[in-house]
Amino acid sequence: MQAGADGRNAYLSAFHAARAFISERTAKITKTHAGIHTEFARLAKDEPNIDKGFPVFLIQAYNLKSVAGSELGPRAVILPERAAAAIETATRFVASISTVLAPPFS
């Protein structure tokens, strides 16, 4: 059960970082998960400091949120190893976005 919550939280961390990135770059508020996945992928492709795998991670990690929310049925399970990998990637994702959005030093 804990792996499900960890997977969901990993996704939500990356989701909110992506949302902040989109907002900073476009001054728009994107509300849906699909809209954030699409817009983040579009904007991130031209950003050299964002791992090219992060847009894919965002989409794949959405499945963790779905499993944790029982949207995929009671037999859907998140393995602890998958949740741990998602946490590690989400940590890098958030750190990357924080770096990209940090104001430059004068």
What confidence tens digit (pLDDT) does each residue in 4-37 have?
Answer: 788 889 999 999 999 999 999 999 998 899 999 9
- The answer to whether 17 and 97 have CB atoms below 8 angstroms apart is yes
Q: What is the pLDDT of residue 26?
A: 96
Neighbouring residues of 88: CB distance < 8 A, sequence distance ≥ 6:
none
Of 47, 27, 23, 45, the C-alpha closest to 36 is 23
Alpha helices in the chain (DSSP H): 2-26, 33-44, 54-68, 80-101
pTM given for the model? 0.88
